[in-house]
Amino acid sequence: MAEQKDILRLIKESAAKRILFLPHAVRQMSKPDRMIRTKDIRHAIENGEVIEDYPEDMRGHSCLILDIISGRPIHVVCSPKEDYLAIITAYVPNEQDWKNNYKKRKKS
């Protein structure tokens, strides 16, 4: 649990400097069936819950954040860097793939 608090602190510190939306995130966020706004991402960063931590990610330490915005779940994968927060992707999770209110992956 301490590790999740550490990554969340790093995320907030990086986001306070700058948020960089990677091309994949922009494509995912702008799909007509999703339409995730940048303010939704900012809300998730400030209020969401880290549900998966990826300290060994090849892109650098990253994590998956869950936030519920206006009753809609949103997952955000991000990676804190020294000068910015990289938003790797963001999507509306599929109910068929997740359990426990979108916090745990279902086994395939």
Single pTM value for the model: 0.91
Characterize 25-58 residue by residue with b for buried, 16 or more Cβ atoms within 10 angstroms of its Cβ, and e for exposed: beebbeeeeeebeeebbebbbeebebbebbeeee
Query: 4: how many CB neighbours lie within 10 A of its CB?
Result: 14
Whole-number pLDDT of residue 108: 67
The CATH fold of domain 2-94: YaeB-like fold (3.30.2310)
pLDDT (tens, 9 = 90+) of the chain, 108 residues, equals 456 678 999 999 999 999 999 999 999 999 888 899 999 999 999 999 999 999 999 889 999 999 999 999 999 999 999 999 999 999 999 999 999 899 999 986
What is the domain partition of the chain in residue ranges?
2-94
